[in-house]
Chains A and B, each alone.
Chain A
């Protein structure tokens, strides 16, 4: 977690809680740069050397979500602490069958797959242009804002 907070793509506490924001959990120098071209606002920078860690310009990020399915490592997601009084929002990549459906109640999990709370599916997008990486949006209790990262695989 410490390395995450130090990476150039992780928002500082203020920004993280301020509204919808894309977060890239990419902290190893791998030659990889599709995220850079995916952002139509130019908020993501890798640069000349493609092993550079992605750098996020939080002023330019409008949390449109286009970067989520573009990352081959499925390392990008969007969070919004301000979604409602009690709930936060998470949009994340999901590549399992079956896909959840809107209004489904699902189990929200942390980075180790532990169920932290229940969540409701708000949106499921899987256009052809995503090449089979669906983007699922859930609303979940604010208390678990930072820990929740995905949902338990639906069988």
Chain B
């Protein structure tokens, strides 16, 4: 269990509203308001994407939206920095391969 329920300084984790998000079509429980990358780690998922040429797995590195190692495709939009993006009920997230593919029509 990767969630920190009891903490000597932060205290007890307040009960959160659970939301269901889908990671590579698999449903997982996330907590409302948390960052996608955190929800994944809480569920034991540490790989966010694979690199373009050598297909190497990548996970969070800076966790503050600066490095893009955590990017995944979210609701059809690639290159979303999952460490600074909040979960939403029903979100569909896929492990991104390389630069990702736009699954939505370009709205411009």
- Direct contact between the two chains A and B in their complex (CB within 8 A): yes
The smallest beta-carbon distance between A23 and chain B, in angstroms, is 23
Interface size on A, residues (CB 8 A): 7
Main secondary structure of the interface of A (DSSP, over half): loop
Complex CA–CA separation, A118 to B8 (angstroms): 24
Indicate if B7 sits at the interface (CB-CB under 8 A): yes
The smallest beta-carbon distance between B69 and chain A, in angstroms, is 31
Interface residues of A in 67-98 (CB under 8 A from B): 95-98
Complex CA–CA separation, A98 to B7 (angstroms): 8
Q: In this complex, what residue of B is CB-closest to A95? A: B8
Indicate if B9 sits at the interface (CB-CB under 8 A): yes
State whether B9 touches A98 (Cβ < 8 A). no
Of B6, B7, B8, B9, most buried by chain A (CB within 10 Å of CB) is B8
A residues neighboring B (CB under 8 Å): 95-99, 132, 134
A sample of 12 inter-chain contacts (CB < 8 A) reads A95-B8, A95-B9, A96-B8, A97-B6, A97-B7, A97-B8, A98-B6, A99-B8, A132-B8, A132-B9, A132-B11, A134-B8
